[in-house]
Amino acid sequence: MNPLNHLNFSGGPGALPESVLLQVQQSIIAVPEVGLSILGISHRSDWFASVVAELEGNIRELMGLPEDFHVLFLQGGATQQFSMIPMTLLRGKPHPAEYLHTGYWSGKALAEARREGAIRVLWSGEASGFRRLPGDEELAYSPDAPYLHYISNETVEGLQFHRVLGRDDVPRVCDMSSDFLSQPCEAERYSLIYAHAQKNIGPAGVTVVLVRDGVLKNAPADLPGFLDYRSHAQAHSIFNTPPVFAIYVVLLITRWLRNEIGGLSRMAEINRSKAGLMYRRLDDSHGFYRGRAETQDRSLMNVTFNLATPELEQRFLAAAQAAGFSGLSGHRSTGGIRASLYNGLTLSAVEQLTGFMEDFQRKAG
Ligand SMILES: *Cc1c(COP(=O)(O)O)cnc(C)c1O
């Protein structure tokens, strides 16, 4: 493998498709239809307004989004949403918001919500090391909660819900940062969906927020302008200088999903094939590679596993890096190995990795 062209298995920023990277490369010099570098095009230009409009339309079409959703492109990452959501939906409410604590990122989200008001942790996997997700029988939702917050895919632990949670009479709020546009998601059942770009759909700098109009109507009146979804909705995501470059790359990704992949169902098939190859490699290794997540909650995006000892894991990571597989070390909070298989990573890259894993096991075993 060419050492100048490593395969990117990082948890984020993630791999992007080569055909998109080639267009991005061209756009740094000049966007063909404008004749200017993407880095120097005004966010007040007609062209950029058309980028925002096309991107919004693509997301609506790919996800089958109902009309009453606003599609916003914000800054501050998913982390800013951890605060904006309780400011909008929890402030002044008599009942606690409900949060699931299923891993590292949901822990961050609920800690920020606590600064704003009362929350109730419906279920926590902390004591059991975040190796599984709750079943429906473990979740006693309250009909009075102002909203339910959860994370569809826990990026660090490699846990993914394969169903929609909650009750239909309580607004669902979901962080989809690490599985956004990786598969169809029944968007119509949510009140607010958010996802930053840098895991699955582009570079860091932009966060997609899909929020129903009803949520905005009931928001407190005195929020700071920048932290009020209504400001961004009214300004069509150009409330202040937006990250033009990042938004353009996300547009190219949605074009790729529509035109080259053929939509989210097809994307989901490809993602299932990639994850299937990885999990088969773990399961066929007779315990050499030990999957971290319980089988029914395994993530299609982040495959987490351990080897027998931390020393063997270090040898594995060093050998993988030398062979051109980049970004495989687990999150600093968990250690171990994590192979992230975002949309832009090809089936062929996963085949190469599983081949390497088979080889490594044979030599070490
Ligand atoms: C990476 C990640 C975050 C953190 O996002 P920032 O954009 O860095 O604030 C939040 N939620 C999930 C699910 C993540 O994977």
Number of other residues whose CB lies within 10 A of the CB of residue 257: 23
The 8-class DSSP code of residue 330 comes to P
205 lines ligand 1 (CB under 6 A): no
pLDDT average, residue stretch 98-118: 98
Which helix or strand (DSSP H or E) is residue 113 part of? helix 104-114
- The protein residue whose alpha carbon is closest to atom 12 in ligand 1 is 177
C-alpha distance from residue 18 to each of 202, 223, 234, 350 (Å) = 12, 41, 35, 16
Q: 79 labelled as ligand-binding?
A: yes
- Predicted pLDDT of residue 5: 77
Query: What angle in degrees, to the nearest 10, is found between the helix axes of 347-364 and 310-322?
Result: 130
Number of the ligand 1 atom closest to the C-alpha atom of 178:
15
Pairing of strands 290-291, 302-306: antiparallel
* CA-angle at 166, arms to 222 and 221, nearest 5°: 5
Return the CA Rg of the chain: 21
CB 105 within 8 A of CB 155: yes
1 pLDDT tier (thresholds 50, 70, 90): very low
Instruction: Name the nearest CA neighbour of 134 among 146, 148, 119.
Output: 148
CA of 105 relative to ligand 1 center, distance in Å:
7
Residue from 82, 110, 196, 201 to probe ligand 1 pocket by mutation (most atoms less than 8 Å from CB): 196
CB 288 within 8 A of CB 307: yes
Number of other residues whose CB lies within 10 A of the CB of residue 1: 12
- Predicted pLDDT of residue 365: 74
Query: How far, in Å, CA of 257 to CA of 251, rounded?
Result: 10
Query: How far, in Å, CA of 261 to CA of 354, rounded?
Result: 23
Task: Map out the domains of the chain as residue ranges.
Answer: 21-261, 263-364
The 8-class DSSP code of residue 39 comes to G
The runs of H, that is alpha helices, within the chain are 18-29, 46-63, 77-89, 104-114, 213-217, 229-234, 244-255, 264-283, 310-322, 347-364
158 lines ligand 1 (CB under 6 A): no
CB 322 within 8 A of CB 6: no
77 lines ligand 1 (CB under 6 A): yes
CA of 5 relative to ligand 1 center, distance in Å:
26
pLDDT for 77-107, tens place per residue? 999 999 999 999 999 999 999 999 999 999 9
CA of 77 relative to ligand 1 center, distance in Å:
7
Q: Which two tokens stand for residue 192?
A: 């607010």
* Residue 61 in this model has a pLDDT that exceeds 70: yes
156 lines ligand 1 (CB under 6 A): no
Residue type, 153: N
- Predicted pLDDT of residue 57: 98
pLDDT for 47-60, tens place per residue? 999 999 999 999 99
Q: Which two tokens stand for residue 92?
A: 């002044």
83 lines ligand 1 (CB under 6 A): no
pLDDT for 206-260, tens place per residue? 999 999 999 999 999 999 999 999 999 999 999 999 999 999 999 999 999 999 9
Q: 145 labelled as ligand-binding?
A: no
pLDDT for 5-41, tens place per residue? 799 999 999 999 999 999 999 999 999 999 999 999 9
* Residue 4 in this model has a pLDDT that exceeds 60: no
Q: 254 labelled as ligand-binding?
A: no
pLDDT average, residue stretch 289-318: 98
Supply the CATH classification number for the domain 21-261: 3.40.640.10
Q: 241 labelled as ligand-binding?
A: yes
- Predicted pLDDT of residue 271: 98
Instruction: Name the nearest CA neighbour of 101 among 83, 116, 74, 119.
Output: 119
Separation of first and last alpha carbons in the chain: 24
157 lines ligand 1 (CB under 6 A): no
> Mean pLDDT for the chain?
96
- The protein residue whose alpha carbon is closest to atom 13 in ligand 1 is 177
* Residue 2 in this model has a pLDDT that exceeds 70: no
Percent of the chain with pLDDT over 90: 97
Q: Report if pTM > 0.85.
A: yes
- Predicted pLDDT of residue 77: 97
- The protein residue whose alpha carbon is closest to atom 10 in ligand 1 is 78
Residues acting as catalytic residues: 105, 175, 199
pLDDT average, residue stretch 354-361: 98
Supply the CATH classification number for the domain 263-364: 3.90.1150.10
